[in-house]
Amino acid sequence: MIRIRPFRAPADYQALAPLLGTTVDRLDAEDAALPATDALTTGPDGRLTGHGRIRLLAEDRTGRPVGYATAWRAPWTPPGDLASHYALATPDVQPPPAATDVLPPPAGVPATACTRIPRAGTLTSTDVLLPLADALTTWARTAGATRLLTELPDTRLDALPALLDRGHTVDAHIRTASTTLRPSPAPLPEPPAGIRFTTLATTTVTDPAQRLHALYLATLPDNPGFADALPDYEQWHTEVLAGPAFRPDWIHLAEHTGRLVAVAAAHATPDPYTCHLTYAAVARPWRGRGLARTLKLHATDHLAHAGLRTAHTEVAAANTPMTALTTALGYTWHPGHHRLVLPL
């Protein structure tokens, strides 16, 4: 039997950190940066607005954590939407021998959201994920959401048929890739004529943060993996230019006559030798000139000289140009995730 209970911070940090591949200190810092209380509201059109979240932990009958789920919305999430995420431990625990071994659900989650497991044998992804998914769906409906967006790792696709049976649909496939960072042994290619490469730490353009935000707004709609509403400046600044992962000299820029025309942004991870390449884009008038490739080569060379050894990135499978570029630059592809949407 899988028992679903509310996540308790900070007591559960130690159990959650390995599930998410992070550290207790980073979990504590991330929580400290969020509002202490939820503020979910209803907009004039009756759709869910505001911000808030739920976090749930799945335990086996011995109390061992075997899964985690969270659903949330930020102020800039489209009205009515909730996002969600799952993390599952290797399902190598044994279920109880009888279907009648039922543990009580957490407060606020109906007993029907906790799934019995009547069979013997090793737990599967489906066994752990479905009780979590049912509990999140119950909470989302109670909160008044109209859509629940979910990321299902490619390594857990055995649970996909069950989620599809529950009404989820596949919205996008996001691929992940990584590369080993080394200083370039050969001279780097020059940028196109009139272009100068800088970083957010060295740029001389006026109002660089505002101009970078404008570049994101202009290029995000062209990204097949983008699903949210376009963020206003404060929302974008909080996600991109604030927090412990932000390094101004890792935001690589291409400038032309005082304007920003391309970006290749990297952010820190809990591993001091690993970075996450979070966003790369080129303004429409400058596409088709090799600018994205050249800027990425300069960015990874700069990161390698800064002591970074590995870079990870994500690319929507439907983003054919960026997929081709990532492959051409020698990245190794790894399992990613499918983005699912559940109408409520």
Instruction: Count CA atoms closer than 13 A to 53's CA, side-chain side.
Output: 18
The pLDDT assigned to 116 comes to 37
The pLDDT assigned to 273 comes to 97
Q: Can you give the residue ranges of every domain in the chain?
A: 3-167, 178-336
pLDDT digits (tens, 9 = 90+) for 167-212: 999 999 999 999 999 999 999 999 999 999 999 999 999 999 999 9
Would you state the structure tokens that stand for residue 268, as one six-digit string? Answer: 């820190």
Same CATH topology for 3-167 and 178-336: the answer is yes
Q: Distance between CA atoms of 140 and 64, rounded to whole angstroms?
A: 26
The pLDDT assigned to 250 comes to 98
Query: Hunting for tokens 């489209």 — which residue is that?
Result: 78
Higher pLDDT, 318 or 235: 318
Homologous superfamily (CATH) for 178-336: Gcn5-related N-acetyltransferase (GNAT) (3.40.630.30)
Domain 3-167: state its class.
alpha beta
Higher pLDDT, 274 or 77: 274
Higher pLDDT, 292 or 21: 292
Q: Distance between CA atoms of 197 and 261, rounded to whole angstroms?
A: 10
pLDDT digits (tens, 9 = 90+) for 72-123: 998 878 899 999 999 888 543 332 333 323 334 334 444 333 333 334 457 7
Q: Distance between CA atoms of 34 and 52, rounded to whole angstroms?
A: 10
Q: Are 33 and 243 in contact (CB under 8 A)?
A: yes
pLDDT digits (tens, 9 = 90+) for 137-168: 999 999 999 999 998 888 888 888 999 999 99
Strand partners, 162: none
The pLDDT assigned to 36 comes to 83
The pLDDT assigned to 90 comes to 56
Is pLDDT of 42 > 80?
A: yes
Would you state the structure tokens that stand for residue 255, as one six-digit string? Answer: 């400038």
pLDDT digits (tens, 9 = 90+) for 281-327: 999 999 999 999 999 999 999 999 999 999 999 999 999 999 999 99
Q: Is the whole-model pTM more than 0.75?
A: yes
- Given the DSSP bridges, would you call strands 48-59 and 169-180 parallel, antiparallel or unpaired? unpaired
